[in-house]
Amino acid sequence: MKKKLLSVVLAASMVLSVCACGNDAANANGTSESQVVQNTTETSVSMEPEKYVPTYPIVEEPITIKGLVVGKDTSFMESRIVWDKVSEVTGINIEWEVIDKDALSTYLAGGDWPDIFHTEFDANTVNDYGITGGKFVNYLNYLDIMPNLAQTYEDYPMTLAASTQLNGEVYNLFKCNGALATAVVCRPHVRLDVLEDAGITELPSTVDEFYKQLVSLKAHYGTPSFILGNEYESDWAPMLFAAFGTLTQMDFADDGTGNVVFSRTSEQMKYYYEFLNKLYEEELMNREWLTLDNTAKAQLAESGTYAYITRIAAQSLAADKLKDGNWDYLGTCAPLTSEYDSTQEIMGYVDYASTCGMYINADSEYVEEICKMLDIAFATEEVVEGTGLCGQSFMYGMEGVDWVINEDGTYSQMFPETYKSFSEYQLGALIWINFGRADQFGSAVTSTPGNAQARAKGFVENVIPYQSDTVIKKSLLKFTEDEQYVLDNKLGEIESYYKQMEAEFITGAADIETKWDEYVATIEKMGIADVLEVYQAAYDRWNTAMAAIE
């Protein structure tokens, strides 16, 4: 990363500070706008990142630091293999302490802190100990010695935008997967064998074709063959909604110009409800979609009469339920089009998660050494030849030992026989929490035949190519105290109302032709304009930060 770009990165953080960004809607910390301005810290870097070349070990003489992990299993191992390898390579030994989640507040208040916290904190904790208390290290002050993190900010701008706090500082690190084959939200799964047995050999490409297939399936099996699911960010709902217009998100969406709109009152939503009502009235979809639990949905998916099934049902499907035990019969449908929109597009994926934490104690005597150590988690290549240690390691272990990319483009994961699965080995022995940059798999799928491989193939072919580049991730937006007050007092009531009306429109309990205008007017009276103003302000701040670092 060049010095010019780094300066822009730092400028972006100060833009967020001046704009007085608050916490996300679910975790507001109550910091006022005046506090934000007062706590703003101008950050400068004295060295160009490319002038620092990492060397290992990091320290001339071994040092020991303390790390805290919350609520993790130590029955397999007291430490973790990847972190032991980090210690071997860097010369920095980590003494890990694991405590229960309910003991964290008391631990923090006690003041006897470790050097690093490998756990995520809620917004109030970040405010009290970070923004107000100044107890956490601001990573932006150390980008000159963290070239891999700086490059990741450049390659994945949303990681910096999402991490920046109210005062323009960054206290936590994150994980990002890149174009991982399973990095999708919308998962419209289909049983191809059920289609085939009904004489259907191709997936639908339009909502009209989808409707005709459902008619044929009901005629053949005597029952509906579609489960809608009731998750607005997965399954079939967002996929079908996107077919009726240009919006891809069902609540708050970017209209394509940077303006936030409320999809629930759009004409596109009306068309979507009308279509589902048609399926409901003709019994082409399961009428109990709102009340079926996951076990019941899985049983329907296993019955051999349901072709279009939910995400969770598809994940639990066993080979013996498919024709000839062939995993090729578990597929994924590509986005549909309609008379209202001819573009295949589906809701996009936000490649960022902050659950790893990695807050550094500002009072640690080894801040620079720790920053250099944690920077390994964002390296795209092996940092020391023969170690297998790179960013990918902090999720999947060491290259050549725990995973390999095969000549055919697939990847393989290896684990000891004492573990039931790689995921058990991963979290019980390799790492504590997913962390760092793990995009070396790209969109490769696992070499192991099975449910996961079948679904991943479907995502790579029929979902990832059509994902929208524009996504409003509500939980990552920052809100001021005043903005959060508006959301707390208006959004919940609006959400309850539109969910109620969605069920009534789909089932026909409310006639959409005669009740739609009243529905829209009611939401307007409930204050949706004020809510939109809040989201627009937060989204503008997000886009300002994104644009500054691109």
Output the DSSP codes for 474-510: GGG--B-HHHHHHHHHHHHHHHHHHHHHHHHHHHTSS
Phi and psi, residue 304, nearest 5°: 90, 5
276: left (phi over 0), alpha (psi -120 to 50) or beta: alpha
Instruction: Say how far residue 466 (Cα) sits from the centre of its chain.
Output: 17
Query: What's the CA angle centered on 200, arms 196 and 201, to 5 degrees?
Result: 80
Nearest CA-CA partner of 15 in 168, 169, 172, 162: 168
Contact 249, 467 (CB under 8 A): no
SS3 68: strand
Q: Per-residue DSSP letters for 323-384? A: GGG-GGGEEEPPPPBBTTB----B------B-TT--EEBTT-TTHHHHHHHHGGGG-SS-SS
> Which residue(s) pair with 446 in the sheet?
411
Q: At what angle do helices 528-548 and 3-18 cross, to 10 degrees?
A: 160
Question: With 0-12 CB in 10 A as exposed, 13-18 as middle and 19+ as buried, what is 55?
Answer: exposed
Tell me what pLDDT residue 330 has: 97
> Which pairs with CB-CB distance under 8 Å and at least 24 residues apart come from 213-221?
213/307, 214/279, 214/284, 214/285, 214/308, 215/282, 215/284, 217/305, 217/307, 218/283, 218/284, 221/305
Q: Where are the alpha helices (DSSP H) in 449-480?
A: 451-462
The 3-class secondary structure across 102-163, one letter per residue, is HHHHHHHHHCCCCCEECCCCCHHHHHHHHHCCCCECCHHHHHHHCHHHHHHHHHCHHHHHHH
Sign of CA dihedral 443, 446, 449, 451: negative
Looking at residue 401, the DSSP 8-state letter turns out to be: T
Q: Per-residue DSSP letters for 292-316? A: --HHHHHHHHHTTS--EE-HHHHHH
Q: Per-residue DSSP letters for 224-281? A: --B---S-TTSSSHHHHHHTTSS---SSEEE-SSS-EEEGGGSHHHHHHHHHHHHHHH
SS3 51: helix
Q: Where are the alpha helices (DSSP H) in 41-110?
A: 81-90, 104-110
Strands 116-117 and 359-360: antiparallel
Per-residue pLDDT of the chain (550 residues; tens, 9 = 90+): 333 344 444 444 444 444 434 444 334 333 333 333 333 344 443 335 458 999 999 999 999 999 999 999 888 888 999 999 999 999 999 999 999 999 999 999 999 999 999 999 998 899 999 999 999 999 999 999 999 999 999 999 999 989 988 788 999 999 998 878 888 889 999 999 999 999 999 999 999 999 999 999 999 999 999 999 877 678 899 999 999 999 999 999 999 999 999 999 999 999 999 999 999 999 999 999 889 999 999 999 999 999 999 999 999 999 999 999 999 999 999 999 999 999 999 999 888 999 999 999 999 999 999 999 999 999 999 999 999 999 999 999 999 999 999 999 999 999 999 999 999 999 999 999 999 999 999 889 999 999 999 999 999 999 999 999 899 999 899 888 899 999 999 999 999 999 999 999 999 999 999 999 999 999 999 999 999 999 999 999 888 877 766 5
Contact 189, 314 (CB under 8 A): yes
